[in-house]
Structure 1
Amino acid sequence: MANYLDVSLTISPDLPQWPGSPPIELKRRRDMAQGDKANDSVLMCGVHTGTHVDAPVHFLAHGADVTHLPLEILIGPAVVAALPDVDAITADTLEGLNLPSDTQRLLLRTRNSESWRRGERAFQPDFVALTADAARWVVHRGIRLIGVDYLSVQRFHDHHETHIVLLEAEVVIVEGLNLAQATPGNYEFICLPLKLAGADGAPARAVLRSLSE
């Protein structure tokens, strides 16, 4: 049996949320402890909760929704790269990784993942993310999927240009990965977002299988 590493966050009310996002609530609609014949729950949360993907329509008025994200991009070989000492991911940062020329899926492990390891519940506005020039570098290199280990691919106080550059080029954005246990290397990446009609994003389960052994 292959060993898979779950790199998705557990959705619960304790999970940090982007400021202004609706609270996460999981409530029992029917409860066997109260005499019902089955347990039946209702989940209430935003589509950009926890580990999730962004669809083009998130920032492009006429962009595609999440149901149109291609599976052949969401599943396939990926490189996990570590950037433990940076506060922002720039084009120069990415160039310095010396990635294989055929890299199509890139997952970036930064100090953000340590906050998941520690179980921090408060939103961290100083999280590490990509600058707009880094997004242009991703597009220029032909990378088709970029994954980051906090709740946004762009920094908290930046303009939306990072998102727009990536989404206009149809780069799939995966946000909220927990890469604390992922050592740098080559993996099979599987990321399956919920198939929500019309949605600008969707929570996803994401896993890695090492290809380095």
Structure 2
Amino acid sequence: MRVTRIVDLSRPVGPGTQSYPGDRTPALEPSARLAEDGYNSSELHMSTHNGTHADAPFHFLADGARLSDLPLELFTGPAVVADVRGRGDRSPITAADLEPWRPSFARGTVVLLHTGWSAHYGTDRYFDHPYLAGDAARMLVAAGVRTIGIDAPSPDETPFAGHPGSGWDAHLAVLGANGTIIENLCGLELLDFPDPWFSAFPLRLDSGDGAPVRAVAMRWSAGG
């Protein structure tokens, strides 16, 4: 088997990164310059939840596993892309909506929710994304799924601009099962090939609540 295509599903990190409400915007500045110091180097100041990143149970649970405690197998595996595009602002994605893909949900499977909301990245409407209803999150966990990705800032409704949100049902279901959530994905519309292999390994930060990832999807084929 060999990789014949790699699709980048990650947002760049820098001053142009759209941050979750209340989080700082990343600051990226030079700490050394080739002309003066003989090499280039930069300093990065950011939230652990800026850009495309992984959440660990400790993000929401006081006694939850930290990122470095989670098995690396959670961050790679065969992906099921659930095409749930066409929904309105702040609309729930229910268990019934995910029924067409239910036979593929199993332990070791990564479920990627393709809402199409990455098209609104950089605008306030990005925070009015569809969200994963509690019944759908619990159905995925019951099926053995422990890794969920979404092309939006959160699988739960984001509190923003007069909307208080509806709680953290999806986070608590997945992270409460010792799983992980990959947020702010992009490019899911490019996965036009069957059986993509997903990978999103996080930085091994001591904070433990979450970390940036380089999320990609790969196409494998037989041959030398």
User: With structure 2 as the length reference, what TM-score do the two structures score?
Assistant: 0.85
Q: Against the structure 1 CA distance between its residues 184 and 146, is the aligned structure 2 distance closer, same or farther, given a 3 Å change threshold?
A: farther
Match of 1:90 among 81, 91, 94: 94
Specify the alignment match of 2:147 in structure 1: 145
Q: Against the structure 1 CA distance between its residues 98 and 64, is the aligned structure 2 distance closer, same or farther, given a 3 Å change threshold?
A: closer
Specify the alignment match of 2:175 in structure 1: 167
SS at match of 1:164: helix
Q: Which runs of 5+ in 1 are unaligned?
A: none
1:63: how far off?
0.8
Aligned-residue RMSD, C-alpha: 2.0
For residues 161 and 101 of structure 1, the distance between their equivalents in structure 2, rounded to whole angstroms, comes to 19
For residues 81 and 194 of structure 1, the distance between their equivalents in structure 2, rounded to whole angstroms, comes to 27
Q: Against the structure 1 CA distance between its residues 151 and 90, is the aligned structure 2 distance closer, same or farther, given a 3 Å change threshold?
A: same
Specify the alignment match of 2:213 in structure 1: 204
Task: Report whether the alignment pairs 1:192 with 2:201.
Answer: yes
1:210: how far off?
2.5
**Deviating more after overlay: 197-206 vs 176-185:** 176-185
- The one-character-per-residue Cα deviations of 1:176-205 (angstroms, maximum 9, x if unpaired) are 111232237421111110001232000000
- Determine if contact 1:79/1:185 at 8 Å carries over to the other structure: no
1:121: how far off?
4.8
1:153: how far off?
1.4
- Detail structure 1 runs of 4+ shifted over 4 Å in the superposition: none
Q: Which amino acid aligns with 1:150?
A: A
Q: Which amino acid aligns with 1:105?
A: V
For residues 155 and 193 of structure 2, the distance between their equivalents in structure 1, rounded to whole angstroms, comes to 19
Match of 1:111 among 116, 134, 137: 116
- Determine if contact 1:193/1:204 at 8 Å carries over to the other structure: yes
1:85: how far off?
1.6
- Determine if contact 2:79/2:198 at 8 Å carries over to the other structure: yes
- Determine if contact 2:77/2:197 at 8 Å carries over to the other structure: yes
SS at match of 1:167: helix
Q: Which amino acid aligns with 1:5?
A: V
**Deviating more after overlay: 55-64 vs 71-80:** 71-80
Q: Which runs of 5+ in 2 are unaligned?
A: 159-164
Q: Which amino acid aligns with 1:108?
A: L
Specify the alignment match of 1:65 in structure 2: 66
For residues 153 and 147 of structure 2, the distance between their equivalents in structure 1, rounded to whole angstroms, comes to 16
Specify the alignment match of 1:100 in structure 2: 104
SS at match of 1:91: coil
User: With structure 1 as the length reference, what TM-score do the two structures score?
Assistant: 0.89
For residues 44 and 102 of structure 1, the distance between their equivalents in structure 2, rounded to whole angstroms, comes to 37
Q: Against the structure 1 CA distance between its residues 123 and 50, is the aligned structure 2 distance closer, same or farther, given a 3 Å change threshold?
A: farther
Task: Report whether the alignment pairs 1:54 with 2:28.
Answer: no
1:76: how far off?
1.5
**Deviating more after overlay: 179-188 vs 190-199:** 179-188
1:148: how far off?
0.6
Q: Against the structure 1 CA distance between its residues 38 and 101, is the aligned structure 2 distance closer, same or farther, given a 3 Å change threshold?
A: closer
For residues 123 and 45 of structure 1, the distance between their equivalents in structure 2, rounded to whole angstroms, comes to 23
Taking only the aligned residue pairs, the percentage that are identical comes to 36
1:170: how far off?
1.5
